[in-house]
Structure 1
Amino acid sequence: MATDFRLRLWSCLLLLTTFSFTEAFYIPGWSIKSYKDNEAIPLFVNKVYSDNTQLQYAYYDLPFVCPPSGTRHAGSSLLSGQSIPLNLGEVLRGDRIMQSDIELVMGQDQECNILCTRNISRSDLRRAREMVKEGYVAEWIVDNLPGATSFVTVDKTRKYYAAGFKMGYKDISNTGKYRYYINNHLTIVIRYRKAPGRDGNRGGKVVVGFEVYTKSIGPQKRDGDGCPADINDADTPMELYLPPNATTDFSLQYPHSSYYPPESEQDVDDGATLDIPYSYSVYWREDDKIEWSHRWDLYFVNQEEGSRIHWLAIINSLIISGLLSAIVAMILARTIRTDIKTYKDASAEEGKLKAKRRSRPGSGARTPKTGEKMGTGLLEQVGDTENDADVSSDEEALEDVTGWKLLHGDVFRAPAYGYILAPLVGSGMQLIFMAFGLLFLSSFGVLNPSFRGGFVSVGIGLFVFAGLFSGYFSGRVYKTFGGLNWRRNTLITGLLFPGLLFCLIFILNLFVWAQASSTALPFGTLIGLIMLWLCIQLPLVYAGTWLGYVKTGAWEHPTKTTTIPRQIPAPAWYIRSPQSIVLAGLIPFAVIFIELLFVFQSMWQDKSGYYYVFGFLSVVSVILMLTIAEVTIVTIYIKLCSEDYNWWWHSFAVGGSSAIWVFVYCIWYYFMRLHIEGFVSGLLFFSYSFMACVVYGLLCGTVGFLTAYAFVRRIYGAIKAD
């Protein structure tokens, strides 16, 4: 009855997790904000980013856009150019959100407003051309919604958004060279509807869409304010080009072309400048088709088709996991039961033979009667025959005890470098707690796109708090290995993985700093991360280690370890560590590779990073953990059957071996699906991918280690129980 209840409970939880992404709720602090007619709404500028590079830049750091005026506008308490407070996740993802000079008033259309006329030099012009060439898009924010470029599906039945808008575009000239144009006029369309509840009855309205349409308008007739005389008929675009210095005769080189090539190096510092006028229009459109709770749905492209692929990924994972479960349940379980029964029968037979021999005097001959002599003759021959039969039966019984059953005195022997394995297991438990905490909160809508930077911020908080679990498991494993210096184990656990991670991030930060990218972490943020690490996480690791090592103690083993280790026979080629580890990792990778495609697309191609179908990801993650556990059990059983008791490190490596295939997949994805250019961008991609694979490997390796440990304790405990 209890088993049926647990099965129903797990089924309900998985079902809720799967479908929770369709009705994500919003936590307090991100509730609905309504606006009245003629109420000012602030517009914030954030950053620019591109699919072709990993370098992001703050919008106001660009030398060719309108700088902030520093004035205060209605609807905001900030001066233009002043940053709003950012959480840790926003800073780490490169956000730099600032108040802009664009004024929005609920319900009031603005046909044209001049923003500024920016005078730029040749070097700034070159920077603008490079960013247009690399396909940079800008992100503006209104009511926590990023400005989006609107598209329609191929069948024209549904509209969807792509976050950001292009800063410019390129075209091919009659000489076959590219010409670059800047989008210097922006048409802002704000979609709104009546606010739900009492606010709507009082005239409140909510923003449900923020669209930006770009246009390049060159030097032409303008009115007194600087706006184009006719925006719709502006056919001449604003080209990012300055003619070369007049002292250089390019007409000889290009006699039949009216288009000059880009300026040469000697022309960069000639003092020539270009004026770029920036303007914008604002239109308000009521849209009752979009609910406020579903206003983010338009940012996720082709969700219906994506859902089918997600279901395909789950079915693929279930098939692989089901086949493994069948192997473990139908073959492995029966084999182990047969082995245990054989061992028990052999032990019982050996005990009976020993008891029988002890019940007879001497070498097994019967006691002679009165007057009967002992020595040669039939009686002695009979006694020898019985003794030989007992020895033969004893040897046959012992010959049945082979394979893993012979390792009962060595299987729990402490591994080499156990003082490193214990902290790795502790760090893996820390990552498991963080990962499943994030999946749980995301699946039920607590972490949603409106909580900008929330996924990273909460993830860091969970990781720091999970230092308690890291220390506890590290301390218990260390004590189980027979470790004596638990304070040293605390330092290794608290410093090894976080320290390596921080050092790698710091080194990468130097390269990003050199590029003046907003992805670079400010010095204050680095100090804050160090304080979180050393002042909060490390004490939690210390407390957890004390609890696991001193208070709780080591796990008890069902068998005693002998003094002299057994000699390990030469294993077959498929049992050797490198081969078996790599082959075993291919199965868990097959479970996740379809879902991995969506995660990679969200991280590296859709730079907005709005991956939110965490319900599907949660189900696949649960199946992945089950698959890793089953693969580890099968692999360790084969290793023990080959009379090799060095399974501790092997189980950890097998569990995390799919990280090798994930990294290979990263390499394939980089060369086949991405168009990243530049050394620093490539370095960032492979460094971030390596860190992600290390995290994934530690997490899965810990699952494999703990599963193998429970399995080994169970089978050798079954032998001892008899």
Structure 2
Amino acid sequence: MQSDYQLVFGNDSPCLRLCDRIMAKRNIIKSIDLIKQNYIVDWVIDGLPASTTFISDNLTERKKYYVPGFPMGFVKGDDAYVNNHVLMVIRYHKEKDNQYSIVGFEVYPKSVNDFTCPGASKNFEHTKLDASNDFQLIHFTYSVYWKEEPEIDYNNRMKLFIDPSLIDSNGKLLSKPSNNNKAIHWVSLINSLVLATFVSLVAAFIILINFRSSIQSASQSSFAQISQNSFTKPRFLPLLSLLTGSGVQLVFTLLASGILSSLFLRKSFANDSKILALTIFILIIGGFFAGFSSIQLLKLFSTRGEQLSIWKTSLISSLSGSMLISLGLAIVVVVNTLIFSKDSPRSMKFSNFLQLFILYIFFQLPISLIGGLISRKFNLFTNLLSSSLDSAPYTSASNKVSVAKTPLYLRFPFSMLIIGLFPCGIVFIESRFVYMTLLSERATTYLLGFLVLSAILLSIVMIEIGIISTYIRLLKNTSQYNWQWWTFLNCSISIWLYLESTSLYQLLKKLKTEGSTSPFLFIAYSSILNTIVALTCGTLALWSATIFIYSIVLISTKKKD
């Protein structure tokens, strides 16, 4: 986005006139309201946000800190004054080969009642906004100074930024900023690693015991008995295939975009748009895996001998790869329709809707369809497990027999609360840092490395929880039908409940929102994000449990033979 401010590298401009603005009465009232709400203006140069500068009061170590943004104006008594002059100090660092990089963008706003620049003078009148006038003329000016910064280079230019919560109402530092956030991040990762290790040990113990028992005596193995009664065609299998196909697409998108962004695009605020473009591109490519995996799951759980028609393959594969974009577009359209009447700057432009719709029609649908058609001809699991599938007594869920009583801790909603404990321990602290970036109005690029590591640990834990929970469920109830739905819903809804509770807590206790637009947007978009995470967790859990059960059956069948 371009502006009317003229910046020429290395050229100082003590006083430049931007424009003269005639403000109508409604704009004056709106500006007064924004100033009284402490509205913060955000500018960006070379991916670096315009910042308000603070100096620590420690006389032995006077250190400079930055807070992103600068105030639109200030309030004195009952009057609001607009900052119509800005003094910009742009700091640069000399890199190798006589190249320069921007490492600081300091803005010092002032309110001046004429078209002259105040310079270092303090004896000037301020521009008061008067709501009683039908019109008011405002002069906008600016000054630009370039300063070389020899100590801070491009890779370390974000280290001076601090959390705005460390600044009091008078603009004073409440405490000396530290690197506690990084320390907490590492403690969070260690905590996640401990949880993942514990769950891994439990899963390894279960796998080891049951593989040994299956090899020693297939007929006496408890899991062999479980597996013989677990090859059922679940109810609403096409819907389950759609959801898990979308989950596979999300797993691929989140991990691939997160890893690539953390490696190549995390050093600049300007890379936010590049990260978004990369994520959309990977999401479209992930439609192939969505269509492929959904058809594989459909064939795996279908009644043996059942032929999958081309039209059914086309419908399920295309929907599984495009359902997320279509639902996301529908929700965003509804949200933007509701906030458009309030002239909210957060509403999405129509051109963006059109671009997403074109991507949906001309790219997402064909790629998903290709993945499904290839999957129809390529049997990834059924060929590998053909012998075990032929020997297993396959039963339809509609023909189920009497089922033993399930323990209380394996029933809804108790099972969801228990299963979600370990994943919640991993995502809770990282979600706290994500919401802190909303409070500090900072981009989340510096969090990408930690988020990717936490996502990998979360994926490992969900894979193991899927195995453990399904094993215990089938062990306690060997004639359990629709266990696929039980695993998927428990592992997805459980973590969704914890994440949604965290989001509501942040909204009610931490985020300072006014009016109805901001809370509504926060609830809508956080719910979408929580649903995405929940869907990926449920998909990982179901696929891991399925592969585990079928692997046990394969070993048991070979032992019998």
The CA distance in 1 between the partners of 2:101 and 2:204, in whole Å, is 56
Match of 1:413 among 232, 240, 261: 232
Q: Which residue of structure 2 aligns with residue 98 of structure 1?
A: 2
**Alignment equivalent of 1:515, drawn from 342, 346, 352:** 342
| Structure-2 residue corresponding to 1:169 | 74
Q: Name 1:258's counterpart in structure 2.
A: none
Secondary structure at the counterpart of residue 119 of structure 1 = strand
Q: Which protein has the larger Cα radius of gyration, Structure 1 or Structure 2? A: 1
- Match status 1:651 vs 2:551: no
Q: 1:211 aligns with which of 80, 88, 106?
A: 106
2:430 to 589, 592, 595: 595
2:199 counterpart letter in structure 1:
L
Match of 2:277 in 1: 457
Match in the other structure for 1:56: none
Aligned to 2:186: 311
Question: Which residue, 561, 565, 574 being the options, matches 2:409?
Answer: 574
**SS of structure 2 residue aligned to 1:721:** helix
CA distance in 2, matches of 1:525, 1:272: 36
Contact 1:442 1:612 survives alignment (8 Å): no
Give the distance between the partners of 2:413 and 2:471, measured in 1 at CA: 17
Aligned partner of 1:365 in structure 2 is: none
Q: CA deviation at 1:117?
A: 3.3
Relative to 1, partners in 2 of residues 1:611 and 1:133: Cα closer, same or farther, differing over 3 Å?
A: farther
Question: Partners of 1:681 and 1:209 in 2: how far apart?
Answer: 30
1:611 to 416, 421, 445: 445
Question: Counterpart amino acid of 2:108?
Answer: Y
User: 1:323 maps to what in 2?
Assistant: 198
1:189 aligns with 2:85: no
Change (3 A) 1:108 1:487: closer
- Code of the aligned partner of 2:425: A
Q: Which amino acid aligns with 2:127?
A: M
Is the alpha carbon distance of 1:524 and 1:117 closer, same or farther for their aligned partners in structure 2, counting shifts above 3 Å?
Answer: closer
CA contact (8 A) 1:599 1:611 kept: no
Matched, 1:620 2:454: yes
Task: Tell me: CA distance 1:673–1:573, structure 2 relative to 1, closer, same or farther (3 Å).
Answer: same
Matched residue, 1:397: none
TM value normalised by structure 1: 0.68
Q: 1:233 and 2:122 equivalent? A: yes
SS at match of 2:20: strand
Inter-CA distance 428–116: structure 2 relative to 1 (3 Å threshold): same
Aligned Cα root-mean-square deviation (Å): 2.5
Q: Residue 571 of structure 1 aligns to a residue in which SS?
A: coil
Cα distance in 2 for partners of 1:193, 1:497 equals 44
- Cα-to-partner distance string for 1:491-530 (whole Å, 9 max, x where unaligned): 4324433222111011112123223334322222212211
Rounded to whole Å, the distance in 2 between the matches of 1:623 and 1:272 is 60
The aligned residue for residue 688 of structure 1 is 525
Q: Would the aligned equivalents of 1:632 and 1:707 in 2 still touch at CA under 8 Å?
A: yes
Alignment of structure 1 residues 428-467 onto 2, 5 Å:
428-449=247-268, 450-467=270-287
Amino acid at match of 1:340: S
Deviation at 1:323, TM superposition (A): 1.9
The answer to whether the 8 Å contact 1:479/1:554 transfers is no
Q: 5 Å matches for 1:124-139?
A: 124-139=27-42
Per-residue CA distance 1:236-256 (angstroms, 9 max, x = gap): 4322234x5xxxxxxxxxxxx
TM-superposed deviation, 1:619:
1.9
CA distance in 1, matches of 2:410, 2:433: 34
| 573-582 or 491-500, which deviates more | 491-500
- Please tell me whether the aligned partners of residues 234 and 481 of structure 2 are also in contact (alpha carbons under 8 angstroms): no
1:586-610 residue CA offsets vs partner (Å, 9 max, x unmatched):
21011121122112222x2233424
Change (3 A) 1:153 1:308: farther
Q: Could you say if the C-alpha distance between residues 154 and 479 of structure 1 is closer, same or farther in structure 2, counting changes exceeding 3 Å?
A: farther
Match of 2:393 among 548, 551, 561: 561
C-alpha separation in 2, matches of 1:325 and 1:695: 24
SS in structure 2 opposite 1:274? Answer: strand
Aligned pairs, number: 525
Q: Is this contact kept in 2: 1:150–1:211, CA < 8 A? A: yes
Asked if the contact 1:184–1:216 (Cα under 8 Å) also holds between the matched residues in 2, the reply is yes
The 1:228/1:285 distance shift into structure 2, 3 A limit, reads closer
Gaps of at least 5 residues in structure 2 are 164-176
C-alpha separation in 2, matches of 1:514 and 1:426: 37
- The equivalent of 1:427 in structure 2 is 246
Q: Supply the AA of the counterpart residue of 1:213.
A: Y
Q: 2:56 touches 2:63 (CA, 8 Å); kept in 1?
A: yes
Cα distance in 1 for partners of 2:515, 2:103 equals 38
CA contact (8 A) 1:632 1:654 kept: no
Counterpart of 2:193, as a letter, is L
CA deviations 1:455-492 (Å, max 9, x no partner) are: 11110110011111111101111112227332231243
Q: What's the offset of the Cα at 1:132?
A: 1.3
Q: How does 1:257-656 map to 2 (within 5 A)?
A: 272-299=134-161, 304-330=179-205, 332-333=206-207, 335-337=209-211, 340=214, 343-344=217-218, 347=219, 404-449=223-268, 450-482=270-302, 484=308, 485-552=312-379, 555=382, 556=385, 558=388, 559-563=391-395, 565-602=400-437, 604-643=438-477, 644-656=480-492
Mark the CA change 1:189 to 1:566 in structure 2 (over 3 Å): closer, same or farther: same
Distance 1:587 1:109 in 2: 57
Q: Pick closer, same or farther for the CA change 1:472–1:592 going to 2, 3 Å.
A: same
What SS class does the counterpart of residue 264 from structure 2 fall into?
A: coil
Deviations 1:271-295 (A, max 9, x none): 6333322222222222211213433
Question: Contact 1:478–1:549 at 8 Å: present in 2 too?
Answer: no
The answer to whether the 8 Å contact 1:410/1:565 transfers is no
- Residue equivalent to 2:534: 697
SS in 1 for 2:251: helix
Distance 2:542 2:424 in 1: 18
8 Å Cα contact 1:408/1:561 also seen in 2 = no
Distance 2:550 2:178 in 1: 46
Instruction: Give 2:504's match in structure 1, choosing from 658, 667, 688.
Output: 667
Please identify, of 282-291 and 517-526, the stretch whose mean Cα deviation from structure 2 is larger. Answer: 517-526
CA distance in 2, matches of 1:480, 1:159: 62
Structure 1 residues 298 and 570: alpha-carbon distance in aligned structure 2, compared to 1, 3 A threshold: same
Query: What SS does structure 1 have at the residue aligned with 2:378?
Result: helix
* 2: CA distance, partners of 1:405 / 1:552: 24
Q: Report Cα offsets for 1:92-133 as digits up to 9, x if no partner.
A: xxxxx1231x33333333333333333323321111012112
Letter in 2 for 1:118: R
Tell me by how many angstroms 1:536 deviates.
0.6
Structure 1's unaligned 5+ residue stretches are 1-96, 245-270, 348-399
Question: Residues 447 and 454 of structure 1 are in contact (CA less than 8 Å); yes or no, is this contact kept in structure 2?
Answer: no
Q: 1:408 to 1:272 in 2, by over 3 A?
A: closer
